[in-house]
Amino acid sequence: MLVRNFLECDREWNQSHGSQAKSFSGFVFKEPDFEVPIRFVRFSTYPPGSGVGLHTHGNDQELYIILEGSGVCEVNGEKREVAVGDIIVNPPYGTHALYNTGETNLTMLLLEVYNKA
């Protein structure tokens, strides 16, 4: 049985997809942990003014699960405010970003699944 607590994963400061401000994140699970095409589960915190820079994926799909805070997401040119409880679906070959526009940390789980074909 494989069980991990995302609150206890090793995290470090880094820049996400070219964002100018740093985020605090780490992997909870990586690809070798799974028997199906899940690439990773990551736990990330973005201080006010930081976020995930605009970038494009290949043949994979990513979920951003907002646990705390608020911000603005952009998916394929469409922008929308997001908050606690929202799950953002980033489609295959899509271009997306997430910006913490709030006054507190934005914390989320990221899940990426890909098509091995």
pLDDT tens series, the chain, 117 aa: 888 888 888 888 877 777 777 888 888 888 888 888 999 999 999 999 999 999 998 999 999 999 999 999 999 999 999 999 999 999 999 999 999 999 999 999 999 998 776
CATH of domain 11-114: 2.60.120.10
Q: Please give the Cα distance from 29 to 2 (Å, whole number).
A: 10
pLDDT value at position 65? 96
pLDDT value at position 81? 97
pLDDT value at position 117? 64
- Backbone phi, psi, residue 81, to 5°: -75, 140
Between the alpha carbon of residue 52 and those of residues 2, 33, 34, 59, 89, the distances in Å are: 29, 25, 25, 19, 14
The residues facing 82 across adjacent strands are: 71
Q: Please give the Cα distance from 91 to 50 (Å, whole number).
A: 22
Angle at 26 between CA 109 and CA 112, to 5 degrees: 45
